[in-house]
Amino acid sequence: MLSVVIPCYNEQDRLPATVGAIQSYMAGRGLDYELILADDGSRDATPAVIDRAMDGAANVRSVRLPHNRGKGRALAEGVAVTTGDRVLLTDADLSTPIDELPKLEARLDDGAGVAIASRSLKGSQVVISQPIYRVLMGKTFNLIVQTLLLPGLWDTQCGFKLFRGDLARGVFAELKTDGFGYDPEALYLAKRRGERIAEVPVVWRHSAPTKVAAIRSSLDMFKDVVRTRFRRLDPPR
């Protein structure tokens, strides 16, 4: 079974269409799946939207944080309740369309523990790009991540990632980063377990608005990467 986890913070407008698109796609493929909606202390009508999504849908569940803690913590809480053989993490805006999933599944079929969508590899199709300043900031952040944690991975921040189920639950149980900088830590933890991380070119469309503040979030993510690099960890497994 496939578990799909979506972090949700004030997503009352985008979430209904996203849930519908995922349900239609899964039905079209005849997949056995569960959908976990992880509400990160939303202050709009997101909880009501989630309730409607669960109404009459036994395979749609939710976890709810009492107050906003960050995307990483919402995902950690969502992954903790999954039961699938594989766990897909995807953003509420579906910037990477759900029908890109088979590309990631193929890499897990080949033995990777994690397959991550990438906007930076040859073959990627960025249909709608971010503003140029965000592109440059993203490239700078990636160079930092490569230097400190994950050499050879060109896009750790794309929000479409497929984990083997046991690996996802193990990694996110150890996660310390609550905010947007969770991706490098989660992948670093997977790498320390000896797992192969496959980077996969995908179709991607920028979706506005974004909750990533250009300066504040970038500084927080940089600090998170440094903390992850120098945090005392158990020896690699």
Identify the CATH number of the domain in which residue 102 sits: 3.90.550.10
In a domain? residue 236: no
Q: How far apart are CA 173 and CA 141, in angstroms?
A: 25
Q: Is residue 235 part of a domain?
A: no
CA atoms within 13 A on the CB side of 154: 11
Confidence at residue 175, expressed as pLDDT on a 0 to 100 scale = 96
Range of the domain at 60: 2-230
pLDDT value of position 214: 58
Domain count, the chain: 1
Question: In 113-219, at which residue ranges do the beta strands (DSSP E only) sit?
Answer: 114-118, 125-128, 161-164, 197-201, 203-205
Q: What is the mean pLDDT of residues 208-231?
A: 75
The per-residue pLDDT of the chain, averaged, comes to 92
pLDDT > 80? residue 67:
yes
> Quick check: is 237 in a domain?
no
Q: What is the pLDDT of residue 96?
A: 96
In-domain check, residue 35: yes
pLDDT band at 236 (very low <50, low <70, confident <90, very high): very low
| The residue type at 40 | D
Distance CA 116, CA 96 (A): 11
Q: Is residue 118, in this structure, part of any structural domain at all?
A: yes
> What is residue 233's predicted lDDT score, i.e. its pLDDT?
53
Is 14 part of a structural domain of the chain?
A: yes
Q: Is the dihedral of CA 22, 31, 167, 62 positive or negative?
A: positive
Instruction: Give percent of the chain above pLDDT 90.
Output: 76
Enter the pTM of the model: 0.89
Per-residue pLDDT tens over the stretch 6-62: 999 999 999 999 999 999 999 999 999 999 999 999 999 999 999 999 999 999 999
- Does residue 85 lie within any of the structural domains? yes
- Per-residue pLDDT tens over the stretch 144-168: 988 999 999 999 999 999 999 999 9
**Considering the domain boundaries, does residue 23 fall inside one?**
yes
Dist. CA 163–CA 174, nearest whole Å: 15
What pLDDT is stored for residue 62 in this prediction? 97
